[in-house]
């Protein structure tokens, strides 16, 4: 008598919101999977940006999706997502936007049985009430929230924090570099080239937020620190984090369209900070700390051999102290920004949901 054949794994339906830096990399990675087992696990049925959307219950070819979108007669609306994903089977929304409106829907989708995988930190990294609503919605809808790409662009940071705690460990402190773009900027900056020119380069390389002031102001890092703290059991609200911004007031008030020409306002203050640090043999690093009962984010001058001063490129470098790692912290380091690593982190979370829904 032969063994009963295994049922083929169910195919999850996926909606992708956002076709910018990260969303395009998600489509490219999906297209590169053509013919592999990963590709057989999911079917892309909806793609949208702010302007247009395309849906197809039979599945859109990832390599053609942007072209389909450009030709699509359908205007984009968030209400289309549920209809496109249907009513049964595993259904996953990928949020590759930086949109408040999309983040505001996360809890609704989760409660309605749709899993959410996100690169956007607005859902979990802003108000405590929204973070709580998302957690409650996963319980109500028996759904999952994939957030690996929100901190460390897919580095095993949140996963490690959660695994330590599920093993009974208590987290004492977290400190490190959480911004890939600011890491890159301070790794490149030598006090000679204008800092503003490097900001343009970081933006063009896809490391910054759509508005680079979200990085330079410390807001992106505040969100990441809130996500880490909340995952470590410290339920902070946004106002509990002390943030020291690098954005001068005259830059903060400008519209996004008039920002570029005004970026040189960053140059003189940063040249001064760099020169002072250089004289003392120190390096500038934008550090987030959850330590000694305080949460804070800002630029620090650290000795060259300081454990948080290392790294290259867009490296994030995060130290975690816990019962287990009391004296020497656990240190996690690796690229913390960039379209490809972020897309890989998002799709790892998608595949994890596909596997979990098989069980």
Ligand X SMILES: NC(=O)C1=CN([C@@H]2O[C@H](COP(=O)(O)OP(=O)(O)OC[C@H]3O[C@@H](n4cnc5c(N)ncnc54)[C@H](OP(=O)(O)O)[C@@H]3O)[C@@H](O)[C@H]2O)C=CC1
Ligand Y SMILES: N[C@@H](CC=O)C(=O)O
Nearer to ligand Y, 137 or 227 (CB): 227
- Which range of residues in 191-199, 276-284, 338-346, 349-357 is near ligand X by CB under 6 A? 338-346
Which one-letter DSSP state was computed for residue 266? G
- Which range of residues in 115-123, 161-169, 190-198, 323-331 is near ligand X by CB under 6 A? 115-123
Residue 17 sits in the site that holds ligand X (CB under 6 A): yes
Residues 195-214: x where in contact with ligand X by CB under 6 A, - otherwise, as a string: -----------xx-xx----
Instruction: Tell me phi and psi for residue 167, to 5 degrees.
Output: -90, 5
Which one-letter DSSP state was computed for residue 294? E
Q: Give the residue, chosen from 80, 99, 188, 245, that forms a contact with ligand X under the rule CB under 6 A.
A: 99
- CA nearest 170: which of 238, 234, 235? 234
Residue nearest to ligand X (CB): 20
Q: How far is the CB of 176 from ligand X (least distance, A)?
A: 16
Nearer to ligand Y, 221 or 354 (CB): 221
Q: Give the residue, chosen from 14, 23, 91, 266, that forms a contact with ligand X under the rule CB under 6 A.
A: 23
- Which range of residues in 64-72, 118-126, 165-173, 322-330 is near ligand X by CB under 6 A? 118-126
**CB-based burial of residue 183 (10 Å sphere; 0-12 exposed, 13-18 middle, 19+ buried)?**
buried
Total residues at interface with ligand X (CB under 6 A) = 32
Nearer to ligand X, 23 or 62 (CB): 23
Active site residue 224: yes
Do the beta carbons of residue 330 and residue 276 sit within 8 Å?
Answer: no
Q: How far is the CB of 342 from ligand X (least distance, A)?
A: 4
- DSSP alpha helix (H) spans, the chain: 21-32, 37-41, 65-71, 80-85, 100-103, 106-111, 122-125, 128-141, 157-166, 180-188, 195-204, 213-216, 219-231, 249-252, 267-279, 339-358
* Footprint on residues 148-167 left by ligand X (CB under 6 A): 149, 153
Helices 128-141 and 219-231, interaxial angle, to 10°? 50
How does DSSP assign 11-33, residue by residue? PEEEEEE--SHHHHHHHHHHHHT
Nearer to ligand Y, 181 or 217 (CB): 181
Residues making contact with ligand Y (CB under 6 A):
153, 179-181, 207-209, 215, 220, 336-337
**Can you read off the two tokens belonging to residue 155?**
């580095």
Residues 209-248: x where in contact with ligand X by CB under 6 A, - otherwise, as a string: xx--------------------------------------
Residue 183 sits in the site that holds ligand X (CB under 6 A): no
Instruction: Tell me phi and psi for residue 340, to 5 degrees.
Output: -70, -45
**Can you read off the two tokens belonging to residue 14?**
């996926």
- CA nearest 221: which of 270, 186, 263, 193? 186
Residue 81 sits in the site that holds ligand X (CB under 6 A): no
Nearer to ligand Y, 147 or 220 (CB): 220
* Catalytic option among 121, 224, 279, 352: 224
Nearer to ligand X, 21 or 357 (CB): 21
Query: Pick from ligand X, ligand Y, none: which does 49 bind, CB < 5 to 8 A by kind?
Result: ligand X
Task: Compute the chain's Rg from CA coordinates.
Answer: 21
Strand-pair category, 145-146 with 115-118 = parallel
Please give the C-alpha separations between residue 1 and each of 4, 7, 33, 134, in angstroms, as whole numbers.
9, 18, 36, 49
Q: How far is the CB of 228 from ligand X (least distance, A)?
A: 14
Q: Hunting for tokens 């995060």 — which residue is that? A: 318
* Footprint on residues 58-77 left by ligand X (CB under 6 A): 76
As a whole number of angstroms, the distance between CA 96 and CA 49 comes to: 9
Query: Pick from ligand X, ligand Y, none: which does 215 bind, CB < 5 to 8 A by kind?
Result: ligand Y
Contact residues toward ligand X (CB under 6 A) are: 17-23, 48-51, 76, 96-99, 101-102, 119-121, 149, 153, 180, 206-207, 209-210, 337-339, 342
Active site residues: 224
């Amino acid at each position: 008598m032969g063994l009963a054949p295994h049922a083929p794994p169910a195919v999850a339906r996926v909606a992708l919101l956002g076709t910018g830096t990260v969303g395009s990399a998600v489509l490219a990675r999906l297209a590169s999977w053509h013919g592999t087992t990963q590709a057989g696990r999911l079917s892309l049925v909806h793609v949208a940006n702010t302007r247009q959307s395309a849906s197809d219950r039979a599945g859109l070819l990832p390599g053609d999706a942007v072209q389909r979108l450009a030709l699509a007669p359908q205007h984009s609306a968030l209400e289309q997502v549920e209809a496109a994903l249907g009513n049964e089977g595993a259904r996953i929304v990928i949020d590759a936007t930086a949109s408040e409106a999309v983040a505001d829907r996360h809890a609704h989708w989760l409660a309605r049985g749709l899993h959410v995988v996100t690169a956007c930190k607005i859902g979990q990294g802003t108000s405590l009430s929204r973070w709580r609503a998302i957690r409650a919605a996963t319980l109500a809808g028996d759904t999952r929230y994939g957030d690996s790409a929100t901190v460390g662009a897919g580095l095993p940071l949140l996963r490690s924090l959660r695994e330590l705690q599920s093993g009974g460990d208590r987290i004492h402190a977290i400190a490190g570099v959480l911004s890939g773009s600011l890491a890159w900027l301070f790794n490149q900056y030598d006090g000679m080239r204008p800092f503003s020119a490097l900001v343009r380069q970081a933006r063009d390389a896809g490391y910054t937020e759509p508005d680079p002031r979200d990085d330079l102001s410390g807001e992106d890092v505040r969100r990441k620190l809130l996500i880490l703290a909340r995952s470590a059991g410290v339920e902070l609200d946004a106002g509990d984090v002390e943030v020291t911004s690098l954005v001068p007031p005259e830059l903060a008030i400008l519209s996004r369209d008039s920002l570029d020409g005004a970026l040189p306002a960053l140059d003189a203050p940063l040249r001064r900070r760099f020169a002072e640090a250089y004289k003392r043999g120190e390096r500038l690093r934008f550090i987030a700390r959850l330590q000694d009962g305080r949460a804070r984010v800002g630029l620090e001058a650290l000795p060259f051999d300081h454990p948080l001063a290392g790294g290259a490129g867009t490296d994030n470098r995060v130290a975690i102290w816990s019962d287990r790692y009391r004296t020497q912290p656990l240190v996690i380091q690796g690229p913390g920004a960039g379209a490809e690593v972020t897309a890989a982190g998002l799709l790892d979370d998608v595949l994890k949901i596909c596997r979990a829904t098989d069980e």
